Amino acid sequence: MTGLLFCFICRVLLFREIAALVRKEFMLEFRQRHALAGIVIYVISTVFVCYLTLQRVDKVATWGALVWITAIFTVFNALMRTFQAEGQGVQLYLYTLVSARAVILGKMLYNALLVLLLNTFSLALFLLFLGQGITEQADMVQFFTGLVVGSIGLAAMVTFIAGLAYKAGNSPGLMAILGFPVLIPLLLSVVRFSLHALEGLPWSENRFQLLVMGVLTVSAVLLAALLFPYLWRE
């Protein structure tokens, strides 16, 4: 009974720490609005250049590829500064206040919300400028579900990779070198799921890819929660 009570208290404290860290990230983002504005301008300019170049996209595969290419670059641009904004002093201060597991899970949760918001905005722009004829046979509810799960998975993986790159000296190219091989399985599942959704296939024929995306996302979160505390001690 005492052990169960102790575990319950530890989980409550962990959730409180995660909530406080997410609130801290939102406050920092609000104070540094120029960084977020730069990413939003990047998304708008990318979609507008695609519109000026193509005018109309008839193939669903091409349209889906453009959406996810924009999403991938948005993820890396948005999350590359996950640990860069915090100096060594801030890291040491957090080390005395909260657990390492709360730090990585808090950053993952905030980054997932940020990436989901940006990718939803990007999807809305693609539908506005290049959506003619694409949504006629597509299952957009299914496509948006894939966008949500894929965005959360990408955010979780890239957040952990950003932590590895930060501890390894924060080399500019290290995050991309580490990130691309790790993201390949998730990207394959996301692209296949999105293509099937755009082709109008039913959920029953597409649920395996959604299951794979969910398993990869949960695995990334669990690995980060288990391994990051050892990494943060260095």
CA–CA separation, 47 and 70 (whole Å): 8
CA–CA separation, 177 and 125 (whole Å): 30
| pLDDT at residue 78, as a whole number | 84
Half-sphere exposure of 109 (CA within 13 A, CB side): 18
| pLDDT at residue 182, as a whole number | 82
Q: 148-158 b/e with 16+ CB inside 10 Å = b?
A: ebbbbbbbbbb
Q: 175-191 b/e with 16+ CB inside 10 Å = b?
A: beebbeebbebbbebbb
Among candidate residues 230, 8, 214, the one with its CA nearest the CA of residue 104: 230
- CA quadruple 24, 27, 31, 33: dihedral sign: positive
Low-confidence ranges of the chain (pLDDT < 50): 6
